[in-house]
Amino acid sequence: MVASFLPYCRSLAESAQPTDRLLWLRIATDVISRTARPEVLLGPEWESQFDANLDLADEETRLEVARRLSVSGRTLTRLAGSFLKRPDAAAQWTLEHALHLPELALAQALPSVTLASAVARRPDLSPALVDQLLADGAVATLVELAGNVRVRLERAQLAALVLRAATHARLSGDRRLARALLRRSPLTVEFAPLFLDASSAQRSQILLAAERATFGAENGRALTPLSTAAVGALERHGLEGEEGLLAEDLMDALGCDPDIASRIVADPSGEPLAVTLAALGAPNDVCVRLLTARDMAEGPDYPRLGALARLQGALSPVAASAVVRAFLGQDGSPAMHSATAPRRPTPPLQARASDAARASRKDRAEREKRAGDVG
């Protein structure tokens, strides 16, 4: 016991003066953290004194004690109950660093967003606890889980987390979860819903994964190809620099939200546009002219044409369609589903997108009719 190991400190541990008891806490922490076998110094009486005296400490002191004791993960685990009585920084440290904490103790911390985030950073999360984090976790907690590369996520868990990230990014504009997920490796086809938020290198990985996933798939299918008239409208609006009309063309063809169509057109890399055109079966020469026209309007570097050349090997219509369906949030892509992956509910955004597409077509028809009347 620490008390018998340092008998002159016993009076400090039981003193009526808070300063004496805090001094005992500091001395006891030093002794425990420096000994090779701290467990031989622990015992019920000492642990009771530790718990009572820790209650007198302020938050900064408790955090310092937790950090010192985590040198031996077993010691912090044994004393975890003393730190988990308050949802403070010391409790967060304990939940993240104490070894082999009982799963019940971890589950009891989840109602607190702050403590749940600490749990999500642990390297030893069980699949059941990951499921609970996915079901109940706030976005801040899921960002920590996504960034915890020491935890292997099951395929269905990853698909659910990606879906949450894509939906949250679309509805709120908050892309923290998407960015955290895209730092994981390797990027498999399950990451396709995050294609618009990915870097060029990450998009290449996702496309290649989609190509592999759809290779030889009997039920793999491309999007409905554009009609000759639709291809002509796309090309005309692209060559004339009519970004708004080009976005409307894509919105009509994809049945998507106007904001997503605008993102596809405006992306400076040209990768989303190249993939979308491939998915819609646009002829290669049309793709080249469209991307080149966009490049020439902005400068001499031709990043969009470079994107087309870079992605050419992974732009089969079926693979491109799988990726486009995924980042549009649409069902039906065989590459995006497995036997264990959860079905995507149809978000309210899709209904709004359909309404917007219909309104756009009606508005365009009225404009064309007025132009004809004037002519």
Residues 6 or more apart whose Cβ sits within 8 Å of residue 249: 230, 233, 234, 237
Cα of first residue to Cα of last residue in the chain, in angstroms, is 99
137 and 258 inside one domain: no
Going by pLDDT thresholds of 50, 70 and 90, the confidence category of residue 355 is very low
Residues 6 or more apart whose Cβ sits within 8 Å of residue 188: 158, 209
Cα–Cα distance for residue pair 155/175, rounded to 1 Å? 21
Going by pLDDT thresholds of 50, 70 and 90, the confidence category of residue 22 is very high
| Helix pair angle (228-239, 243-254), 10° resolution | 150
Between the alpha carbon of residue 139 and those of residues 100, 165, 166, 349, the distances in Å are 26, 9, 12, 19
Cα–Cα distance for residue pair 213/337, rounded to 1 Å? 10
3-class DSSP state of 224:
coil
48 and 119 inside one domain: no
Q: Which of 74, 100, 126 is the last residue of a domain?
A: 100
Number of domains in the chain: 3
238 and 348 inside one domain: yes
The pLDDT tens digits of the residues spanning 178-218 come to 999 999 989 999 999 999 999 999 999 999 898 888 765 54
Cα–Cα distance for residue pair 251/249, rounded to 1 Å? 5
**Residue 3 domain flag:** yes
68 and 133 inside one domain: no
Q: What pTM did the predictor assign?
A: 0.77
What is the model's pLDDT at position 196? 94
DSSP of 261-308, one letter per residue?
HHHHHH-TT-HHHHHHHHHTT--HHHHHHHHHHHHHTT-SS-HHHHHH
**Residue 19 domain flag:** yes
Residues of the domain holding 258:
228-362
80 and 21 inside one domain: yes
